[in-house]
Amino acid sequence: MSGRYAPPVAIVLSLLSSVLWGGADFMGGLVSRRRPALVVVGWSAGFGFAFSSVAVAVWEGWHAPLGWLPWGMAAGAAGALGLYCYYLALATGTMGVVAPVTSLGVLVPIVFGFIVGEVPTTVAIVGMGVALLGIVLTSGPEFSGDSSPRPVLIAALAGLFFGVFFVFADHGSEDSPLLTLWAMRMTVATAFVLVALFRRTTGGVEPSDYGWLIVIAAGDLAANLFFAIASTMGYVSITSVLSSLFPVVTVLLARAVLKERLRHVQIIGTGVTMLGVALISAT
């Protein structure tokens, strides 16, 4: 990592990645209501691989050294497993339980950043804590005695995979953000193609689904690229927190599109999240 701990460009790109990830997750959740989560992840990864291949061919090309390749493949596997677990948890539980648990996976890159010597300012550290609290509150925690533990455990696993993804993607992006992204999509697309061939099915996807899947793939791809670039400009402990605001975006989209009612804790959480972002950005 180079330069300041979180230059303005890195902050903007990280926030943009959250917006795009939140939008893609919202649409992915809608599609997953009629198609299996594994199918949604697989098809969107396939479209993402096609898009990233074109981008690499036009702007960068495949080149040595290949330091980005193992990190990209590892990040792709971690990201796909996290997304599959996330969609599965959403399908079997409620967002109020799933989202706050999943968002806590950002603790992985935060701890990793501190281990490797990242030292954000005190204000930035406070801002990270405030933003993380805001994410949990905005997601609308609904922990109760009659909640099944299975969605919570799956969500926790998704968060762990997402946290590992942030670390792996950051490492690969030091060599090339775009090629790391291509390796990520290549890994996931190849795995799902092999599964489809083995099971002799494409998951029942119909032409009416293609538009949704393409938009999901494009949003997720752009979000990954923005985070990858941001992570090369600033501390991964900072950029990963800002890029993990996607549950807030998903909740707000559910309110705007599906007319889901926001509870008081979610409204407060939105304000707390914005305060945390402001503290991080002001230092």
223-265 per-position pLDDT tens digit: 999 999 998 888 888 888 888 888 788 778 877 887 777 778 8
- Summarize pLDDT for 174-224 with one digit per residue, the tens: 888 999 999 999 999 998 889 888 888 878 888 888 999 999 999 999 999
Sketch the domain layout of the chain as residue ranges: 8-281
pLDDT tier at 2, thresholds 50, 70, 90: very low
Query: What confidence score (pLDDT) does residue 220 get?
Result: 92
The whole model's pTM is what?
0.83
CA distances 198 to 48, 190, 191, Å, are 22, 12, 11
- 129-138, 153-162, 185-194: which range is least confident on average? 129-138
Cβ atoms within 10 Å of 75's Cβ, excluding its own = 29
Question: Which residues are CB-contacts of 173 (< 8 A; sequence separation ≥ 6)?
Answer: 68, 180, 228, 229, 231, 232
Query: What are the structure tokens assigned to 47, written together?
Result: 């479209």
Q: Residue 78 pLDDT > 50, yes or no?
A: yes
Q: What is the rounded distance in angstroms from the CA atom of residue 14 to the CA atom of residue 218?
A: 17
In three-state form (DSSP H/G/I as H, E/B as E, the rest C), the secondary structure along 141-174 is CCCCCCCCHHHHHHHHHHHHHHHHHHHHHHHHHC
**Please, what is the Cα angle at 267 between 90 and 155, to 5 degrees?**
20
pLDDT bucket at 116, cuts 50 / 70 / 90: confident
* pLDDT cut 70: percent of the chain above it: 89
Torsion of CA 49, 50, 51, 54, to 10 degrees: 120
